[in-house]
Amino acid sequence: MRNLKKSENIKSIAAKENLPIRITQLDVIDSVSINNAVQAILSETGRIDLLVNNAGYVLDGAFEDLSIDEIKSQYETNVFGLIRTTQVVLPAMRKQRSGIIVNISSGAGRFGYPGGSVYISTKFAVEGLSESMAYELEPFGIKVIIIEPGVIRTNIFNSVVVAKKYLDPNSPYSQLKQKMASSFEGMIKNASSPELVAKVVLEAVTNQNPNLRYLS
């Protein structure tokens, strides 16, 4: 977890269900944090069998209203964060000649919608990166899997970052913002459970010959 202060909930669930979950600090935009976490795991276990790249957030805003800094921050987490963690674990997976990398993309990795240009572009990047990696890593016994969730009822909607200019009532895209907000309210009401995605991930990683892509 990036912030260990938020670990009490998962610790409580793990204890209640007697799950052997260990939590360590890892921030995908901090290379030192990633290296420390991976080295701690390798020192204890000698191997890494599975990496799920799940960190990400949504940047909301019409393209013209987005600042370069807002765009860079989105890519730092959604794309470069995935790249950093994957590159750190790959040497160990190559050495053991096995491993699975699961990259959480999105249905938005297949199509665009207004107000989500940069978020969607990060998911398109994940799709292309993952597909290319799959070819490169197959000779080493490493599998790459892309998960493409639809609208899922998670905390991601509570952490949406809205572009500053997009919040301005004088933005030429203010009507678009209102329309999209209404649309998302309806979609969230009918959103799927996170357990649905978890089950798809579990089925994929336990399959001897998994597909490259899974819609969920």
From the candidates 105, 130, 171, 216, which is the catalytic residue?
Answer: 105
Cβ-Cβ contacts under 8 Å for 188 (sequence gap 6 or more): 151, 153, 157
Q: Is residue 75 among the annotated active site residues? A: no
Q: Is residue 113 among the annotated active site residues? A: no
In the chain, at which residue ranges do the beta strands (DSSP E only) sit? 50-53, 59-60, 99-104, 142-148, 161-162, 213-215
Determine the Cα angle at 48 with ends 46 and 50, to 5°.
165
Give the amino acid at 183. Answer: S
From the candidates 7, 11, 72, 119, which is the catalytic residue?
Answer: 119
CA nearest 55: which of 195, 155, 151? 155
Q: Is residue 105 among the annotated active site residues? A: yes
From the candidates 121, 123, 173, 214, which is the catalytic residue?
Answer: 123
Phi, psi of 5 (to 5 degrees): -65, -15
Catalytic residues: 105, 119, 123
